[in-house]
């Protein structure tokens, strides 16, 4: 199914995914990103477009790192009971298990392992066209509260519980 996005005329996006703004201006320029609420978890996805590709025709590792960072930090705001806070990255580990070729649909899901007074520990798996491409984990510092913005409402996805 082809889905018309705000910044790209026609990107083939699987049914049930909604274009979202997440991760700030840098992430917006790296996207477009899509999200869905599926089986009690926030999932993010994107189609590997030419601007995401490395010279070998695969998704650039930097794009996958950006995507992983957004995925495993943002999910904490929706999968556990905590206020919306700025979560600067303390550490991010990436294991590139497979490739995400140009044109691939990349999507991932995070698991929030532990939230302490000052830190969030999470991990995630990222798939390209259904095949495992990346295993990631990270630690994030709990920073100041985030202001309510229009992009917050974009993550009011179908099936997502209201907070």
Output 119 or 77, whichever has higher pLDDT: 119
Task: Give the model confidence (pLDDT) of 148-160 as tens digits.
Answer: 665 555 577 887 7
Does 144 fall in a domain?
Answer: yes
Torsion region of 57: left, alpha or beta (phi above 0 gives left; psi -120 to 50 gives alpha):
left
Does 6 fall in a domain?
Answer: yes
- Average pLDDT in the 40-69 region? 95
Does 12 fall in a domain?
Answer: yes
- DSSP state letters, 49-88: -GGGB-TTSBB-HHHHHHHHHHHHHHTHHHHSS---B---
Does 162 fall in a domain?
Answer: no
Does 85 fall in a domain?
Answer: yes
Does 33 fall in a domain?
Answer: yes
Q: What is the pLDDT, as a whole number, of residue 2?
A: 37
Tell me if residue 114 falls in helix, strand or coil. Answer: strand
Q: For residue 131, what are the domain limits?
A: 2-154
Number of domains in the chain: 1
Q: What is the pLDDT, as a whole number, of residue 30?
A: 79
- Average pLDDT in the 121-148 region? 95
Q: What is the pLDDT, as a whole number, of residue 142?
A: 96
Note if the pTM is more than 0.85.
yes
The CATH number given to whatever domain includes residue 12 is 3.10.129.10
Does 68 fall in a domain?
Answer: yes
Does 161 fall in a domain?
Answer: no
- Average pLDDT in the 97-106 region? 96
């Amino acid at each position: 199914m082809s889905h018309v996005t705000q910044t790209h005329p026609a990107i083939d996006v699987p049914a049930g995914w909604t274009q979202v703004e997440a991760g700030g201006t840098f992430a917006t320029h790296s996207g477009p990103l899509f999200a869905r609420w599926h089986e009690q978890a926030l999932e993010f996805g994107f189609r590997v477009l030419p601007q995401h590709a490395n010279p070998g025709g695969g998704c650039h590792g930097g794009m996958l790192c950006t995507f992983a960072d957004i995925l495993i930090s943002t999910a904490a705001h929706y999968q556990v009971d905590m206020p919306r806070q700025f979560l600067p990255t303390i550490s991010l580990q990436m294991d590139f298990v497979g490739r995400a070729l140009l044109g691939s649909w990349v999507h991932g899901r995070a698991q929030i392992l532990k939230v302490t007074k000052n830190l969030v520990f999470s991990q995630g798996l990222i798939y390209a066209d259904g095949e495992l491409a990346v295993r990631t984990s990270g630690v994030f510092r709990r920073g100041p509260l985030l202001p309510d913005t229009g992009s917050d409402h974009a993550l009011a996805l179908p099936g997502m519980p209201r907070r």
